[in-house]
Amino acid sequence: MTNSREYGFKISVIGDGGVGKTSLIKKFTKGTFEKDYIKTVGAQFSRYEIEIKGDVINLIFWDIAGQIDAFNFLHPLFYKESRASIIVCSLEDNNLGRDSFINVKEWYEELEKHCGNIPVVLFANKVDLVEDIDLDTTKIQNLVNEHDFLGFYLTSAKTGKGVIEAFNAIIDELYKKFKALSTNF
């Protein structure tokens, strides 16, 4: 007789358009990277299955379009039943990078409004486009502390740097939380 269980988690992946949400999901779930940018319309989802300690974890990543105003009226439906979220910003030294970092707060507030207090991890993406010497993570850490995120990860969908660790951090958190709940019954 086996004591293995099956868990299912929906994880919303949010952030401004062009920060690499779709690319990060594809890198994690398929190990691929496409350099051509294709704008997500509305939302798309990707399924992924992983095994932890004999238990099967079924994940659905909801990749929500980064144009916050364009599909705003649909966001409550997109967020529904999310167990956790990944907020993505870009580390690029340009308007996209600066704006996406500033908008993390707005994305978080919208998420909190529709989902309440769920685990959130911040992915600071496109680390491959930044020189290590120019990278100061103090502002990122302050943002994480201010909103009580689980943490942040420097990621690159292109090179794969930090991607596995970043996704596994949120998956492990959900697994621990729901495994504890299920053993208390």
0.85 cut: is pTM over it? yes
Facing residues of 56 across strands? Answer: 6, 51
Domain 6-183 - what CATH class? alpha beta
Spatial CA neighbour of 4 closest among 49, 53, 50: 53
Q: Over its length of 185 residues, how does the chain's per-residue pLDDT go in tens digits? A: 467 899 999 999 999 989 999 999 999 999 888 776 565 555 678 899 999 999 999 999 998 776 656 556 677 788 899 999 999 999 999 999 999 999 999 999 999 999 999 999 999 999 999 987 678 899 999 999 999 999 999 999 999 999 999 999 999 999 999 888 776 54
AA identity, residue 24: L
DSSP-based three-state secondary structure for 161: coil
Residues 85, 43: Cα–Cα separation, whole Å: 14
The pair phi, psi for residue 114, each rounded to 5°, is -95, -20
Q: What b/e string do you get for 78-93 counting C-beta neighbours within 10 Å, with b at 16 or more?
A: bbeebbbbbbbbbbbe
